[in-house]
Structure formats: C-alpha cells, structure tokens
Amino acid sequence: MNLGQIQSLSEEVINKIAAGEVVERPSSVVKELLENALDADATWIEIQIEEGGKKRIRITDNGNGMREEDLHLCYLRHTTSKLRSAEDLFHLKTNGFRGEAIASIAAISQMTITSRTENDTEAKWIRLSGGNLQETGTNNSRKGTAFLVEDLFFNTPVRRNFLGSDALEGSRVLDTVTRIAIANPQVRIDYKVNGREVFTGVEGSDLRSRIAEAIGAGVARKMVPVDHTEAGIHVTGFVAPADETRGKRNHMFFYLQQRPIWNPVAGKAVVRAYEPYGKQGYPVTVLFLDMPDMDFDVNVHPTKKEVRFVNENGVFLAIHHAVRNALQNEGEYGAPVIHLSDAVPNFAPVGTSNSDSPATTYAATGSSFSNDSVQEPRRRFEAPPEPIAQDLFSLPEFGKVIPLTAKTFQTPTKVDSFASPQFFHLAKTYLVCEDAEGLLLIDQGAAHQRILYERALKIIEDGSGIETQELLFPELIELSKVEASLLQSVLENMDQLGFHLEPFGGGSFQLRGIPRELPLSRAIDAVHALVESLLEEGFDANPAHDIIAKAWAKGNAYQAGDSLSSEEMAQLMAQLIATQDPMTSPYGRPTLMRMPIEDINKRFKR
Ligand code: ADP
Ligand code: MG
C-alpha cells in the first residue's frame, strides 16, 4: 500500500466510522430516536422492535414533525436544528446536540423516515439505504414523525456479529426505554416487542406512578421521597426504604437535568447512605440531579452519557445527605450501626476481588470522600465482620493463599470419613482451626459458595434435581420486564434446582416452591441474585447454567454474620475439601488462608 498519498475519505466511509461511535447496538438506535422524539415535544411515543431490534426498530411520535426540506437534510452529517454555535455546546437544553445520530444510523441500516408538521396536508417519506436516498413519497400519516430502521449493520457484517442474542439485545433496549420513560412521566410511552405489548406508560403520570409502571408497583408504593439542596446541587426523586435494599445495580437510575447519566460516584453515595442500617446491595433508586451547566461535562462519551462533575466530592455529599435525610425522615428502620469503613478511612479489603460483595467494595473505595462530613446518626457499635482482620492481613504471609496439601487433610472421597478439627468462629465470618501446618482461616461465605456452586452445576448437568418444598402461600416476585424475560428463559433449570416459578403477568412471578433446605428469604435472594447475574453477564458471555449455578450459590450461601454451630462448621469444612477447586469461590475469591506454624514461631522469635 502506498502510504504517501493522502486522500480524503468518502462521505460514506466517514459516516460508517461515525456510526461506530454512536451506534453500538439496537439500544443505541432506540436511545437516539427516543431523544429526538422528546426534543420534538412529543406527548406520545411508540417503540416497536423485532428480533431484539436487529431486524426492525420503529419509533413513532406525535411531535412537531419536519418540513419537507428538513426531512431531506436530517440524515446528512452535522445537520441539526439544535446547535447554533460552539458556545451552545456548553448550554445544552435538548437531548441531541451533535447532529450526527440520524446520519450515523442511516449509514448502517435501511431507513425510512415519515414526517408531517401541523401545516402539512400530507405526510412525506424518504427511504434510504446505507445513508443513500432511494425513494421518496407521500402518505396520510398523522402529524409527527416515524423512523423505521431495518437490517442494522447490514453493510458492516463484522459489527453485526458482535451483537448478542435477540433476548439480550431486547433486554438492553428495554433498559433504555425504561430509563427514558422514568425521566418523562408526562409522555405516554408504548413499547412492543414482536408485536406484543411489553410496557405502557400512560400520558401524564406522576413520577411515582411512572416508577410503578416501569419497575413495579410493589416497590413504587414503598419508596421514600427525596428532596435536598446542597452546594448548588438539587437532588430529588425516590429511593427504596431502608429495610428494602435488595436491589439490582440496573435499578439505580440517575439523571442530570432530566437525562439519564452514568456516574459511579452517584451510586456509591447512595449505597453508603444505607450502610448505617446494616444493609448491603443496590437499593432501588430514582434520583434527579440539577446543577449549573458549568459544574459538569456530559460530553465524555458520545453514547453512554458518562458525566464528569467538576466537584465530585460535593456531588457525593449532596446525594449522600439527600438519601440519608430521606431515610431518617421516613421513620424507624432499626438503629444504624457503625461500620469500621466509616471510622477508618483507608480500610480496604486485602487481596480479594470482592466481585460478589459490591457494597464492601463501595465502602472501601468510598474512603476518598471526606468521612467526617458523613456523620451517621445514633451510632451503635456492632461487631463489624471484615475489619478485625486488618492487622493480621498486614503480615506478609497472610496475604498469600497457600494451597492445601495432602499433609493437611487427606482429601476424603466420602465426606463423613473426615476427622473434624475444633473450630473457633471469628466475627461470625471466618472459621479458624488448626491443621497439620499451622493456623487456617476459612471464609464461610466464599467456602459455602464453592460447595453450592459445584453442587448446582452437577444437578443441572446430570438432570437430577433438588427436592422442592411447595409454599402454602406463594410469594410474589416483582421484576422489571427485562428481568422477567430473562428469568422466563431459565425457568426449566430453576425448576431442577427446586424453584417453582410461575409467570404471574406484568413482570411478576409467583414463587410456588423452594428448595427444601432453604429458608424462604434465602430462596427469594437466590432468585434475585440469578436475575442480576443474567442481566450483567448476559447469555452470550457464559453458558446459562454456569450463571444460574453461581447465582444460586451466592443466594444460598452463608453470609458474613451468620452464626454457625460446631456441627455446621465441621460440615462446611468437610464439604469444601471434597470440591474440585476448594481454594477459590466461584467468583474467584480465596476461600481460605493459612499461616504455617514455622512463621508463627518466627514471629514469636522462637
Ligand atoms: P440532533 O438531535 O443532534 O440535532 P439528529 O441527527 O439526532 O441530530 O437529528 C437531526 C435533526 O433531525 C434534528 O435536529 C431535528 O431537527 C430533526 N429530527 C430528528 N428526529 C426528529 C423527530 N422525531 N421529530 C422532529 N424532528 C426530528
Ligand atoms: Mg438527536
């Protein structure tokens, strides 16, 4: 190739490159077109997708429409009716501002745009292929605009191959629709998948009703209102009450000036506000932030709406205090307890990924924020599980995971042949015992997860099945539509694991039977953990049964703080040794650590 010659790229190539930035997948198309409809003052928007949006996306609105000249301009790059000067970039009040979404989507699809303004006697339509005009015409559609986007990535097959399954892409579209629907309760939004009504938000809803429509009526009823201003930042919305923190990360909705944003600081600030109540997890959150334009930068990423705040600490504190006050005002949800992560700013867990313990991660990483201004009310000391180990972990030998050897325990083929050592229960989190080489510490949660994970895998793979206990009073499990569709696709496997779930309409399931050995609350946790993993990992990343087994293990395993009898500790150890990979949890955390007796002797200068 002769590199010496500079040629300008054709418009077509430029558009394809730009499309890669804006259009990652069907959900990005839906996001851009929905935002355009809102900018056109629509009060009703209908979204229809087929085959996860890969085959067809149709978005119809009753907004202002485009005049014929504008219809012929809108699919060219950098054409916009919203941006007049570079200065406007810093005062954006509309959703779009770069004038490239339609050009980018058109470049990689077959697109038909139909539009009619109030003054038109008929609607005009244009049909494009790969961004090139093919045909024009008229029809008698009503006022507003309809975008039909077909065969996404038809001319960029490699990109097409990167798309997930129809179910996965569909669930991403629904997530996008949900996020935007919550921010615009005044607008009627209808969402249909393969012709089936999936979501309806009625026109003129208030925020709580829209949350009910989008996330679930049960949650919406209980949510606590938030309204707080601090350092020029206005925080409003709703959060789950303090006794209801079993949420999923995708149920945390943050908006900046009514637009969905993603920013990790906001999530941390909320999670921290629940910690005094001894709660972990992601509470359902719908929070709107408002602050002066110059205090943030939205233009970080063209599609993801990542936002940078000029004063991150201020935003953290404003959100944290807003949620904390809301929870306090709501009344008594048990006394807050202090966590060492508050008292010891730089505490961080040692040597573990914490991938299945998000709240702990937040507690640790949140330490960069000023802790003294995050005073919690009515502090009461309770044995905090993790931090006790801090000094021990600072000993170099203790950070290391030393493999079990034959000398330690003869790996028993039958678990009952195991001669159990004496256990000491440390902080209701670790089993401490002596083994042939020294001192052994076992993390009860990680170890139990390993045992249950292998057990679940085996059950699913050999089709054996776990005994079910039918519930006298079935438990209602409310999920979002995306989650419901994911859960629906694994019902059979769940059945093998002892969970009898029946669709109950509108994203709800009835839990009619649970594994015999599980308490109900744990069974419910397991279902939620499963749904969360399905959402996060998707079916394409991992075989579904692996996700199910992991989630099942996570939901059912002992947690830090669970009391165990000597008998239970002995059983746990015996079963752990019998697993195929006793050293790590299914999420990659260590299950045990050892300090050899020689090292202990050395420390005592023997
Ligand atoms: P931007 O939104 O950044 O202006 P787009 O490429 O998304 O860029 O849209 C280009 C232009 O097309 C918009 O500025 C607007 O004038 C027009 N347009 C797009 N969608 C609609 C719609 N649903 N109703 C009316 N006008 C629209
Ligand atoms: Mg736009």
pLDDT digits (tens, 9 = 90+) for 287-335: 999 998 778 776 555 455 667 788 888 999 999 999 999 998 875 443 3
**Residue from 46, 47, 74 to probe ligand 1 pocket by mutation (most atoms less than 8 Å from CB):** 74
* 11-204 carries CATH number 3.30.565.10: yes
pLDDT of res. 538: 59
Class of domain 215-375: alpha beta
Lining ligand 1 with CB less than 6 A are 32, 36-37, 40, 61, 63-66, 70, 74, 79-82, 96-103, 145
Neighbouring CB atoms inside 10 A of 403's CB total 9
Closest CA to 468 of 421, 511, 510, 408: 511
pLDDT tens readout for residues 445-504:
999 999 989 888 887 777 777 778 888 888 888 887 778 888 888 888 788 888 899 988
pLDDT digit string, tens, across residues 71-90: 999 998 766 666 544 444 44
Identify any residues that bridge with 439 across adjacent strands, giving them in sequence order: 434, 595
Q: What is the pLDDT of residue 299?
A: 59
pTM for the full predicted model: 0.59
Find the ligand nearest to 145 CA.
1
Higher pLDDT, 314 or 507: 314
Phi, psi dihedrals of residue 500, rounded to the nearest 5°: -100, 110
How would DSSP label each residue in 454-480?
HHHHHHHHHT----EEEEEEEEEEE--
Pairing of strands 44-50, 259-261: unpaired
Q: Output 518 or 214, whichever has higher pLDDT.
A: 214
What is the Cα–Cα distance from 166 to 546, expressed in whole angstroms? Answer: 20
- Percent of the chain whose predicted confidence (pLDDT) is above 90: 32
Q: Tell me the C-alpha distance between 272 and 376, whole Å.
A: 10
Q: What is the average per-residue pLDDT within 532-543? A: 63
Give the C-alpha separation, 477 to 202, whole Å.
24
Report the pLDDT value the prediction gives residue 574, as an integer from 0 to 100. Answer: 83
- Measured in Å, residue 274 CA sits from the centre of ligand 2 at 37
By three-state DSSP, how is residue 195 classified?
A: coil
Are the beta carbons of 325 and 275 closer than 8 angstroms? no
112 - beta bridge partners? 127, 148
Label residue 18 by pLDDT band (50, 70, 90): low
pLDDT level of residue 152 (50, 70, 90 thresholds):
very high
Looking at the predicted structure, is the pLDDT value of residue 151 above 60? yes
Report the chain's mean pLDDT, rounded to a whole number: 76
pLDDT of residue 547: 72
C-alpha 345/C-alpha 272 separation (Å) is 13
Interval between CA 351 and ligand 1 midpoint (Å): 50
- What is the whole-number distance in angstroms between the Cα of residue 452 and the centre of ligand 1? 53
**CA-to-CA separations, 356 to 105, 249, 559, in angstroms, rounded:** 37, 12, 11
Ligand 1 pocket test: pick from 23, 29, 36, 71 the residue with the most ligand atoms within 8 Å of its Cβ: 36
**370 band by pLDDT with thresholds 50, 70 and 90:** very low
Atom of ligand 1 nearest to the CA of 32: 7
What whole-number percentage of the chain has pLDDT above 70? 74
Query: Quick one: pLDDT at residue 113?
Result: 98
Residues of the chain with CATH 3.30.1540.20: 393-606
Could you say which ligand is closest to the alpha carbon of residue 63? 1
Helix pair 26-39, 166-183: axis angle to 10 deg: 20
In whole angstroms, what is the distance from residue 575 CA to residue 253 CA?
41
Q: Whose CA is nearest to atom 2 of ligand 1?
A: 96
For residue 332, the model assigns a pLDDT of: 45
Per-residue pLDDT averaged across 237-244, rounded? 87
- Quote the CATH superfamily of domain 393-606: MutL, C-terminal domain, dimerisation subdomain (3.30.1540.20)
> Which atom of ligand 1 is the closest one to the Cα of 97?
3
Instruction: Calculate how far, in angstroms, residue 234's C-alpha sits from the geometric centre of ligand 1.
Output: 30
CA distances from 254 to 187, 189, 243, 355 (A): 19, 19, 21, 23
Q: How far is the CA of 80 from the centre of ligand 1 (A)?
A: 6
pLDDT in the model for residue 58: 98
- What is the whole-number distance in angstroms between the Cα of residue 211 and the centre of ligand 1? 28
Scanning the structure block, which residue is given the tokens 């203790």? 398
Residue ranges near ligand 2 (ion) with Cβ within 5 Å? 36, 96, 101
CATH 3.30.230.10 intervals, the chain? 215-375
Residues 6+ apart with CB under 8 A from 197: 190, 191
Q: Which ligand is nearest to the CA of 65?
A: 1
- Ligand 1 atom with the smallest distance to the CA of 75 is 6
Atom 23, ligand 1: residue with shortest CA distance: 37
Long-range contacts at 575-582 (CB < 8 A, ≥ 24 apart): 575/415, 575/451, 576/442, 576/447, 576/450, 576/451, 577/404, 577/409, 577/411, 577/412, 577/418, 578/411, 578/412, 578/413, 578/415, 579/450, 579/451, 579/454, 580/454, 581/450, 581/454, 582/404, 582/447, 582/450
Contact 192, 174 (CB under 8 A): no
Q: 267 vs 39, 260, 262, 370, CA distance in Å?
A: 28, 13, 9, 16
pLDDT of residue 30: 96
pLDDT band for 105, please (50, 70, 90 cuts). very high
Q: Please say whether the beta carbons of 208 and 238 come within 8 A.
A: yes
pLDDT tens track for 34-56: 999 999 999 999 999 999 999 99
